[in-house]
Structure 1
Amino acid sequence: MIIVDTLSKRYGKKSAVNNLSFTVPDGQVTGFLGANGSGKSTTMRCILGLDNPTGGRVTFSGTTGGAAYSAAFPSIPAKPSVAGAVLDASWFTPSRSGHNHLRVLASGANIPTRRVDECLELVGLSSAGKKAVKGYSLGMKQRLGLAAALLGDPQHLILDEPVNGLDPDGVRWMRDAIRTFADEGRAVLVSSHLLSEMEQIAHRLVVIGRGELLGEYTLEEFLANGTTIQVECREAVLLAEDLKRRGLNCTIQQPNQVHVAVPTNTGVEELRQTIAQVAAEQGFLVTALATHRDTLENRFLQATEASREYIAR
């Protein structure tokens, strides 16, 4: 697990991150969301020890291959066996082959050379390993960056825009790979502006704006505010009245259609069962019961509207 505790970072008089606290649990993918300039990249660099924060603490805990580590700032960057990261897909010596790039990194971290071939195979670059990186596509560079992050078999992975430059097949491969890393028990923090992809891979979300926490949620919790149950019923008005008496927020959209908002403390299936039970008790005929969930993109825009610096009208 990664625990970020009151992390702050200032550049002169400008505050990039302000008293930010959140967790990245083992065995889950945590999506890290925020508008441009919200402090995501600064936060990730501080987590890894690449930048020294002005204040706060980051703790790494957990085990992979018997390794455990805890870090409080100021500190040295996390060891490879503790955290692996992809922050930039272009930090390569162009004339060096992919294999030699990883070999140099492995040597510097005292990692066995055999791990280089293992990681190239893991990311699907075995056949391209001997080619110069300058000939790699952006998607191949993303894969090579991931291979570098995996060299030390880390407990924690921090990935910034991991699907940038990938074709549809590569996007699906990266999506499956990220989920697999979490299934293996790793703590995975992923930042991406491709919210449709984030909706498919994230278990949890951390949303920030202007360097401050806007909220920490499960994916279902975050989407619940935009989820409704659409009920087609001959006695729609009477059904809505009964549901309102139970404290539910209902609106009549058409003469025979009721929309019921899903409360944040109620699951979708639980609400569907409640609606069906009320209709059955009153003898109302329900001809359709459909769940309509808002997209992560819409929910994100709503949650961050007040903290975005640039908003097109």
Structure 2
Amino acid sequence: MDAAAVHKRKRPEEADPSAGELDLSAADAVEVLDLRAAKRLLLAFERRLRDNLEARMKYPDDPARFADSEIALHAETDRLRLLAGAPELFPDLVPIGLASSLASLLTHDNVDLAAAAASLLADLTDSEDPSDLAAVQALADALVDANALDLLVHNLSRFSETDPDEAEAVHNTLAVLENLLDLRPNLADKVCGGTKLLRWLLSRVKAREFDANKQYSDRVKEETERLDSLDLEDLEMDDDERYNRKLEAGLYTLQLIALILGHIWHSGNSQMRARVELLLKQNKLTKQDVKSILEEYHDNIGDLDGPEEKERAQVRTKEIIDAL
């Protein structure tokens, strides 16, 4: 599923009048998005967020009275995705509320909007160009200051993976956490010590509730052994098709979990490592279980974002594997 399609509410077909004369079409967005345009995007989003919260407070028992403002807020949230193409603007947008406003959206009572925030943050924190690293780190730092770590972890328990859209929200939430740990490795201590993420990750590995029809076995390493019991249809697939089938069945979530655990281990904090090992043992898992998933992930990293990004991702993953 496209990360931009995590929410279920139907978007309005007409253009939003709050956009003014700014042309933000997909074809022209990268060219026209200067700082002035980006600020207008952010201010329009904040206005929609404020209007929606005010409507909810005024009519808490009458959803029909704030439904339109919710649809408008969804649309503005989607428009903010254009900022992912201009990370160099983040340091100028953070002081006027980029991180704090998105952190606020993570707390929204409408789970679809909280999911939209996670999807947007997954895009904004995904740093591919080394020249943009400092700018994306500025956003990461501001998100931490805005308590986004706690909010992201809390939302993991809000989303139900039996719903495909909310399952995608779990993926996006884990992706944001993995991105933040990649940007700021020293966050491992804060993630482990200040949130319930570590215990959730390991209980999630054990529970293996990827969807209603495809549950994996009790141990993480059996993901890579699953091909031994594939049916005839599976045996007729090529390697890429088999791997994609596994991703769809839940391996993608496992990989994100393994990457986050790997980042925590790679941080080198002896107390955090001891806690990881203890929780692994309590869940009848080992570091090798985590490594097995990371090794398969490493071997299947594609070059969709170019050969340089593929190499960077492989080097980073290999460092985590070696640390384990």
Larger radius of gyration: 1
TM-score by length of 1: 0.28
Larger relative contact order, structure 1 or 2 (CA cutoff 8 Å, min sep 6): 1
Q: What's the TM-score, normalizing by structure 2?
A: 0.27
Which structure's residues are more often strand, by fraction?
1
- Which one has the bigger helix percentage? 2
